[in-house]
Structure 1
């Protein structure tokens, strides 16, 4: 009798109201979190500019994703490597940021990449990475140090498939986000607070389902589960909000992205020279404009292939190196980008690092990739 009475209370009109209130409150809380995690910008300054040393400038919030008019920029922001440029664009670390960092290290002379044996017309099944015997005399960022240590900690050579299983690859993604925080690009970066926000939704779902199936909580259990799913959907993929400093760098990166996405072969060849294609390649990767970059490069190289392949001396293809092999390497069917990014995405999936694989499909439209 008591059980029937309790069950009737759990399924009564008041319970429906309580369940609806829980679900609505969870949705409101989710939107509030999204609202509070907005970017900042400097009040009264041209977007992309930083205050002069000692200058006091007010800050205001802007909606996440709001894009101000940007001026085309013909080179990367000063001191901003490709991985950090990717963080400035979207406030998070995806596999493409790590693969672009590796390519950037290669073109700067820290390592070389060798495709392993493959049948004619097919992609190599793996890539061999060799540490440079005489590396450049230049400082490395913490992320770059971790990636090189992960690759060559056990010796001067490794394969890409073995590299992806190294713990240093996972920690490098955290380090890259930490570098952005050290530059004061992020409004706040606390793994504890981020974890607590993302854990609220799943916790509510578990409690709601447990209340529904084990305790007969009826509509209250449903309300908790629905509210938890709503909150989780609204908050689980939120990027880190940018500070005004970070937002200014983002605007600069957007200007450079616009240049890479719209420049034509003759324009680039005349303005910067084909040799810069190798230096700009990692930026094209993180900006998601690698298809256009490849097309422009192919056109320029076909028009004048003589003496322009030195920029890719970090790709060791043997004595039969030909222009067509370079072009094939950067094609969608035989892409080094595909191999690199898939390896990083596979590592992220293997480790259960959902956040790292977000957006990879958008960045590499037409390539293999994870979520």
Structure 2
């Protein structure tokens, strides 16, 4: 029997990706949060984020929400949040800037003159007031410890909650939730020691609930504020056989054969050469989606800036880094359907809207916009089928196999159940490779990468572009999709002496294209936060226990990424 177990374990390890492979992509390697519950209903939070960069970046962005809807959604309440300090693992202070978009504190952490590669640890200390929920029989900390809106995976999450000394441990309640926002899964470990509750999960995000007896913390009156008219309108809305172990191997062979035969992209030109204009008149969002097969928020932000460049809207930057979008003219007749969805979703009949106010109008349009972007590229014959639907179908099938596999344990045997479970894992792993481009799609992708090469090394090809009119702002949205906006802007710092007509604000003494590109990156990050509405679970006053809790619920949350 021991030999069988060792054999099963060995097979399992064969199918688990190695750590070195996993660390090739940008991610959070470890996320630890130490939370001290104070008697005045505030908490002190110390987040230790061990971040892995797969390419040179200045640092990370951490978005911390502080403004929430109440249960009737006709008022907001504030949880005053104060940043204490940000240091590295050696105790050295790390430079950061802080922006307030009206709902989140956005921390841009790192030195704009330096870059970071590989691993870097960031320790963020802050205090949040008015964070405890009060009930008739207990009080409660319901806290989204990691946030669900990170651009990268979160691994190895540990949360330590330090309790007041006078707590009654017989009345202590704990719960935790993992997975996507609204999910009920609880793949986390809990431990209770004197003065501390520990919660952990291998893969975040992680939301925690700590309930304790009345009288431990002082009940305070929350700070409420009236929403804008815009917010009021939209806020309303049985035998064992070793042969079974061959099943995962056969599944792996079949999946590999299927990929090699029908799933692999056809060959293109096979070379990347500089392209001096967008191939096939691809728009920025389309190019970003074609390259990584993901219609993500950066593609949507680049589309907004592209519409501004074309004169359909203006971006106004306030003195406090708050942004306003101003409609200049109606949507064009030649707009793609996803451009119409973005444009209508932002303004929704209005002429002017604050970026921080588009939570309710635009958040529910994200999925539709992404689907339209995918379908647009299918219509252009760059993909055979919608990549997202192909991935989803494969993932759901793999998940179904994993879900039903344990039932085989009761009907047949452990080995068959294990083999089925591993087969489901393999199906889900291969799901990422199921979207397939056409040969034309592969060639256009290669040309797009050639266009990226031109934008990155534009100085080398100056003779190709120096006579073109407005080339800086015309190609800037593309540079943003590729993450090289500041590199592109360096080529024009001695040429452009004033900002474009579609951007107002910035308080420049002397206009600088590099600083301007950085401002647009800041706008893009703020826009990405605005696409998601703030958490509504905390504001309802419902408990995280008794079925009321979920991943992403409670206070806290937010997310971030790199810059």
TM-score if structure 1 supplies the norm length?
Answer: 0.69
- The corresponding residue for 1:229 is 425
- The corresponding residue for 2:354 is 159
User: Residue 280 of structure 1 is aligned with which of 461, 467, 475?
Assistant: 475
Q: Which has the higher helix share?
A: 1
- The corresponding residue for 2:526 is 339
TM-score if structure 2 supplies the norm length?
Answer: 0.47
Asked if 2 retains the 8 angstrom alpha-carbon contact of 1:91 and 1:242, the reply is no
- Distance in 2 (CA, whole Å) between partners of 1:215 and 1:305 is 73
Deviation of 1:338 after TM superposition, in Å, equals 2.4
User: Residue 397 of structure 2 is aligned with which of 190, 195, 200?
Assistant: 200
Deviation of 1:326 after TM superposition, in Å, equals 5.9
Deviation of 1:267 after TM superposition, in Å, equals 2.5
Displacement over 6 Å in runs of 4+: none
Q: 1:240 to 1:180 in 2, by over 3 A?
A: same
- The corresponding residue for 2:308 is 106
Structure 2 gap ranges (5+):
1-237, 537-559
- The corresponding residue for 1:27 is 252
Deviation of 1:137 after TM superposition, in Å, equals 6.1
Asked if 1 retains the 8 angstrom alpha-carbon contact of 2:266 and 2:438, the reply is yes
Asked if 2 retains the 8 angstrom alpha-carbon contact of 1:328 and 1:335, the reply is no
Asked if 2 retains the 8 angstrom alpha-carbon contact of 1:328 and 1:334, the reply is no
User: Residue 515 of structure 2 is aligned with which of 328, 343, 346?
Assistant: 328
Give secondary structure in 2 for the equivalent of 1:184. Answer: coil
CA deviation profile, 1:147-196 (whole Å, cap 9, x unmatched)? 11111114222233443542223211111111111111112338765543
Please state if 1:38 is matched with 2:264. Answer: yes
Give secondary structure in 2 for the equivalent of 1:241. Answer: coil
Deviation of 1:24 after TM superposition, in Å, equals 1.5
- Distance in 2 (CA, whole Å) between partners of 1:175 and 1:41 is 26
CA deviation profile, 1:327-348 (whole Å, cap 9, x unmatched)? 434338972232234445x57x
CA deviation profile, 1:205-250 (whole Å, cap 9, x unmatched)? 11123444x6683122111112211221221x23631112222222
User: Residue 381 of structure 2 is aligned with which of 184, 187, 200?
Assistant: 184
Give secondary structure in 2 for the equivalent of 1:39. Answer: coil
- Distance in 2 (CA, whole Å) between partners of 1:187 and 1:338 is 32
Please state if 1:169 is matched with 2:371. Answer: no
If asked which structure has higher relative contact order (CA below 8 Å, sep 6+), I would say: 1
Deviation of 1:304 after TM superposition, in Å, equals 4.3
Q: What's the Cα RMSD here?
A: 3.4
Please state if 1:218 is matched with 2:414. Answer: yes
- Distance in 1 (CA, whole Å) between partners of 2:333 and 2:509 is 31
Asked if 1 retains the 8 angstrom alpha-carbon contact of 2:259 and 2:434, the reply is no
Please state if 1:74 is matched with 2:74. Answer: no
Deviation of 1:276 after TM superposition, in Å, equals 1.4
Q: 1:291 to 1:28 in 2, by over 3 A?
A: farther
Deviation of 1:256 after TM superposition, in Å, equals 1.0
- The corresponding residue for 1:146 is 341
Aligned length: 300
- Distance in 2 (CA, whole Å) between partners of 1:161 and 1:210 is 48
- Distance in 1 (CA, whole Å) between partners of 2:473 and 2:496 is 15
Please state if 1:244 is matched with 2:439. Answer: yes
